[in-house]
Amino acid sequence: MTQVVVIDYGMGNLHSVSKAIQAVSSSESIVISSNTDVIKAADKIVFPGVGAIKDCMEAFSVDLRETVLEEIDKKPTLAICVGMQMLLKSSEENGGVDCFDILDGKVTKINASKEIKVPHMGWNRVKFLKEHDLLENIPDSSFFYFVHSYCCSSSEDALTETTHGESFISCLAKDNIFAVQFHPEKSQDMGLELYRNFLNWNI
């Protein structure tokens, strides 16, 4: 039985993510855990995150941080929202924060105006730049649900882009890692399809 662990480091909408994955699971075991042994034993990793990135980065114990970084390096991993941002090089949020530097790119504030509201909250199109297994059966320019004030505007690992005033990267992919700025668990059918693709993803 494939075991999928949703990383619990005290931040993130863990139960919403877990329930969405369970909704499309056939025989997989879905667990929420901060136990390093459970994380090491898992076949796949989901790395969620909500809130301020500094708080998220500081929420890790030393052991949990080391284990998560080791396992993300070798197992199929889906990172969501701030989970995605933490995998980049740095963020200008909270006066500047060094991130895990696993994916290419930096996180910057979305430029607000009378027409462009920040935080970016609601449905928006996700335009494909490349093909990927996790985008299978999802039409190009499908709508997904976003809630964020910071974004990655460019990356060598860019897979999709979205426009909210300016264009930003809404999905990144590198080797065994797939990272999204939007919330699949809030994105109805297309979000469930992405979770289903993740469960079927073989590296």
> Which residues are annotated as catalytic?
81, 183, 185
> Taking the CA atoms of the chain, what radius of gyration do you get in angstroms?
16
Collapsing DSSP to helix, strand or coil, 84 comes out as helix
User: 3-class DSSP state for residue 114?
Assistant: coil
Measured CA to CA, the distance from residue 153 to residue 172 in angstroms comes to 11
* Separation CA 153–CA 168 (nearest Å): 4
Residue 35 sits at φ, ψ, to 5 deg, of -75, 120
> What is the enclosing helix (H) or strand (E) of 123?
strand 120-128
Measured CA to CA, the distance from residue 114 to residue 86 in angstroms comes to 29
| Assigned token pair, 154 | 């460019």
* Residue 8 and residue 14 in contact, taking contact as beta carbons nearer than 8 Å: yes
Q: Which two tokens stand for residue 200?
A: 């079927």
Given a contact cutoff of 8 angstroms between Cβ atoms, the answer to whether 169 and 155 are in contact is yes
